[in-house]
Structure 1
Amino acid sequence: MLRRYSFDPTNIVPVEEIEVRLDLTFEEDPVQILDRDVKILRRKSIPLVKVLWHNHSPVEATWEPEDAMRQQYPHRGRIEDSWLLVGGWVS
């Protein structure tokens, strides 16, 4: 059962400001690689990485194709097989 909210001036929710572009998009930076996996289809396999993004919690991490991450964020690591390590970026 819901209860009626009693106003409390000390109950303040902190707000983080996000830089939004004119087309209402914003750029999110990857912080850490949490996991790796390979999705196997009928005739090919797709390497995936679980990415923790800057303003999100680990619960909200997303699975992204490893090749796409290499193309979008080439400054984050080497182009070798060890480019992405579980637990962090290779610098």
Structure 2
Amino acid sequence: MRFGKKRKLAPRYIGPFEILEKVGAVGYRLALPPSLSEVHNIFHVMMLRKYHSDPLHVLQFEPLELKTYMSFEETPVQILDPRVKQLRNKNITLVKVLWQYHGLEKM
């Protein structure tokens, strides 16, 4: 599950959060902030990373906008490149769209 931005190089981990208890053989219950109350608070050990404390490391927590059904709506901003692809018997219209939360990539 990716939090926040949706991109290839988006950060995969948020936190750190305190581990409250071990649940079963490979599950851990975390103390999540109220803004993440919609997220289940038990995570598999493979989804967690060890935090190495560093006094110079200042954590900046960005509040996330999560809806109740755990998704967000993307809206198109601009049509970048409309094309018509010709096959043998028919034409297919292709449209390259700039979405709201995605940047403009170099072609």
TM-score (norm 2): 0.38
> Max radius of gyration: which structure?
2
Work out which structure has the larger RCO, using CA pairs closer than 8 Å and 6 or more positions apart in sequence.
1
TM-score (norm 1): 0.43
Q: Going by fraction, where is helix more abundant, 1 or 2?
A: 1
